[in-house]
Structure formats: structure tokens, C-alpha cells
Amino acid sequence: MTDNLKKSLLILADISGYTNFMLANSRSLSRSNKIISELLLTVIRHIGLNLTISKIEGDAVFLYAMRGSEEEWKELHERLGEKLVSFFNIFRQKIDELKNSVLCEGDACEIIDSLAVKFIIHSGLSEEVEIEGFRELAGIDVIILHRLLKNSINEKEYILLTETACAEMSFPQIICLDRSSETVAGLGKINYFVYHPSHQKQPPY
């Protein structure tokens, strides 16, 4: 199995406040689901790049890229860094657009302003496996990515980059990153950096 493991960039985008939003709009679940789908679609379209969608998990989307040439890998990290820090403004704009759409008629948009987005970014080894026609991404680093979604960060809106991901990521400007770590059961201590858009002195764009 180890022979099939490849260097991978792993990205998990998660909608914060999803459960409370759905509970508050329990009488209009169809439109509420559509709103969440629109927000996840905004993530996918804005980030773009040469990324593969591994799975859409209700309130989250799991994206990844397998390493190609060194030049392609470097360009991917440069462009991704730019798109990530600019996405928070895009997300807010999409929320405002949805509030003025037919999806928000009646009470379908109760507490929509409480929705936010967070990204977990990790770089490691993974393997594409196929089960009954479905392609899945497997490996210890995939487990680490998902485990880091349950972390001690108090804010709802951020980018978490593990040390391995941060070492390769490039950003279009100087940004402030907080250093932290989590102890993950069975996997030990995982060091990471956090970008808080609300902590930046100036908006990215």
C-alpha cells in the first residue's frame, strides 16, 4: 500500500454554524439546504485551481491535489494562498446576495449572518482508492486533516495550516499567523499555524 502513497495537498472547507442554522430553519429545510449548497459551491468556484473534489459532507467539502512537477506544485501553493485569504470577503458577499434572493423569503434565512467558513490545510501522503466505483482518498494524513477540524480554536472563521502545509504555502502579502498545536488521539502532537482574518490590520483585498 505504501508504494501507492503520493505527496498530496489536502483541503477541508467547513461551514461554521451549520447545525444551529438548520435547527433555526427546520420548517424550511429545503431552502436552507440550498443555501448551504450555494455557499459550498462558492468555495469550489472561488478556489478553482487543479483540485479534485473528494467528497461533499453536508456542511463541508474535501478537496485535494496530487503533486505533479515541482513548478506546478509551487504555482498551486502560490495561487491557493492568494485565493484563501481573499475568500472571506467573497463569502460575506455571497451571504448578502443570498439574503436578497428568493431563497431567503419568509423565515428561511434565520441567523444566516452567523454562518462562517473555516479551512483546514494539510500536506502529506495519501492514496486514491476505488470502492464499488467510488473514489476515496485514504491515508494517515487524511485522518489528521479531519481530526484537526475538532480543535481548540474559539473563532468560527480561520485558516488552519499544519507545519507541512505552511512550509510550502505562499501568500500575496505579509500576514499574521498564530502558532498552536493539538494533541490528536493516536497520532500525537500536531503543530499548526492559524490565520484569523479578523486579526489582520488591513483587509487582504
pTM of the model: 0.90
Answer yes or no: is 204 within a domain: no
Q: Which residues of the chain have pLDDT under 50?
A: 1, 203-205
Answer yes or no: is 92 within a domain: yes
Instruction: Count the domains in the chain.
Output: 1
Answer yes or no: is 107 within a domain: yes
Q: How far apart are CA 41 and CA 25, in angstroms?
A: 20
Q: How far apart are CA 78 and CA 26, in angstroms?
A: 41
Answer yes or no: is 29 within a domain: yes
Answer yes or no: is 205 within a domain: no
Answer yes or no: is 155 within a domain: yes
Q: Are 53 and 136 a contacting pair, CB within 8 Å?
A: no
Answer yes or no: is 194 within a domain: yes
82: left (phi over 0), alpha (psi -120 to 50) or beta: alpha
The range of the structural domain enclosing residue 164 comes to 2-199
Answer yes or no: is 131 within a domain: yes
For the stretch 46-100, pLDDT in tens is 988 889 999 998 899 999 999 888 899 998 998 999 899 899 999 999 999 999 8
* Domain at 137, CATH number: 3.30.70.1230
